Amino acid sequence: MTASAQNDAQVGFLNTDLNNAIDAYYIKYPNERFHSSLRPYLQFGIKEADDTAFHGYDYKIKNYFLHNDIRSKPQYRNRFAAQFLPQLDAQAGFDMLSNKFLTETSGGMYSRLDINNDFAADFTFVGGQVSYPNFTDTVVKAYKIIPGMGLAYGGNGKYNFTNFTGHISYSPIRVLNFQLGRDRMFVGEGYRSLLLSDISNCYPYFKTTLNIWKIQYGVWYSAFKDIRNTESNRKDYRNKYNTSHYLSFNATPELNFSFFENEIWQGTDTNRHRGFDPNYLNPVIFYRPVEYALGSGDNALMGMNISFKFFKRFKLYGQMVLDEFNLAQIRKFQRWWGDKQGFQLGLKCIDLFGLKNLSFQAEYNWVRPFTYSHGSTQQNYSHFNQPLAHPFGANFSEGLAFLTYKYKRLQVDLKGVIATIGKDTVGSRYSVGQNIFLSYTLRGNEYGHNILQGNKTHFMQGELKFTYFIIRGLNMRLEAGIIQRMETSDFGYINQTPFVYLGIKTSMYNFYRDY
């Protein structure tokens, strides 16, 4: 698949199949211009990739009117191209725990317009009615949201929802892109991210990205919502704001280092009025000096990624998050509550055992208590009642493994997740640091905080999924699979949920069922 434009204005999708296919290409053919740890990707960085998992073809009427893949654009000035892709998600399943048949039905449209080779605008709308197996339905009932999709309307196990994403994107020169949109982002190399993931609802943002030499630099400003205790009344939503910086450096085509920093601060509350703080508009300065100069109590988070490709088949990657750093306290080795950090280590392999299109991925995640939380819960690392990083919150260790095989139109996926989580006890007046929606001022003491403290909960989930692509150009596919899930705790809680499903989909975005 080739791209016809020199400048770049259009992002790809946050779709695991698409991102893995692009990543696999650059594992095999390393390139100093490709930066893999910030998604969705800009087309400038992926124009060489041969994406075999998500072709994005539609049917051409005229060469200059409807274009033929997700990255092509008009080659000449004073031309435009338009694209329309239907969205469909129809699935039936059976929850063996509740002995119920469940259905998920949603639909919508993706549309995109490119003008010349430097401007693009796209819009996606989806809506529908869904019912979920016990493990997802519990989340919906507790937080009044469809994970990643916004508010849940209705009840009795059936929920309605609507959601939209959109972007306006402009590249005045080849290496510079401006983007105004409503969507999600993902920072990291893995399946999970400890820095910024796509599990929460969409949010508005303005983003600037610079690609020059071996460097990609991005800065974006976002607006989040705290909807706790609002009974879904929009006028009661509380604003929170965010500024993020991202710097990626390809030391060699195989070796990448990237750095991420983020600041969240609350808007208006019952005690004061505060909007977007112009002190955080500076696109290059580090946050800690700004915070100290302002005497700020805002929520800063820092982290880094590293990845190394070798033998044109493997990628080793890692991630670290620091939510608090006090060297004097760390040196005491007394397990201070503010020792808030997390680590990720993972490995990707393509063409495993020399078998084409057989891929493997393994990943381990570990996060200490109270990470992502804040004294003011309006400043925690969340949006729309969901974490912005890992879905488990904090105070957990997790291992994941994936095996995927593709043959012509058939794809088989085998996935396993095993985790131990130190959960907060419902109704307790103290926090053990897992629930990021609890203030860290509710901690019982200053020292002696161990990973997995609290109600130790053991989580295991396996999934086997078969996919058959009907129309690759629409990403239309048949899916059939089974999920086996088990959750137990030291307090005697036991839950086992087998769930089988069959569906037809064109989904471009990820929906997570593994937490």
| Residue 498 backbone phi and psi in degrees, to 5 | -80, 135
Nearest to 350 by CA among 41, 36, 22: 22
Residue 44: what pLDDT?
Answer: 66
Q: In DSSP terms, which residues pair with 366 in a beta bridge?
A: 343, 397
Q: 203-234 pLDDT, tens per residue?
A: 999 999 999 999 999 999 999 999 988 877 88
H or E stretch at 22: helix 16-28
Architecture category of domain 16-505 in CATH: Beta Barrel (2.40)
- Domain borders along the chain are 16-505
Q: 252-265 pLDDT, tens per residue?
A: 999 999 999 999 98
Q: 24-47 pLDDT, tens per residue?
A: 989 999 999 899 999 998 876 676
User: What is the SS3 string spanning 442-467?
Assistant: HECCCCCCCCCCCEEEEEEEEEEEEE
With the C-alpha atoms ordered 441, 442, 444, 447, is the resulting torsion angle positive or negative? negative
At residue 184's C-alpha, the angle toward residues 186 and 133, to 5°, is: 95
Average pLDDT estimate for 234-248: 92
Residue 289: what pLDDT?
Answer: 57
pTM: 0.92
Q: In DSSP terms, which residues pair with 129 in a beta bridge?
A: 105, 160
Count CA atoms closer than 13 A to 64's CA, side-chain side.
9
Is the per-residue pLDDT at 450 higher than 90?
A: yes
Q: 54-63 pLDDT, tens per residue?
A: 443 333 323 3
Q: Which two three-digit tokens encode residue 228?
A: 């706790």
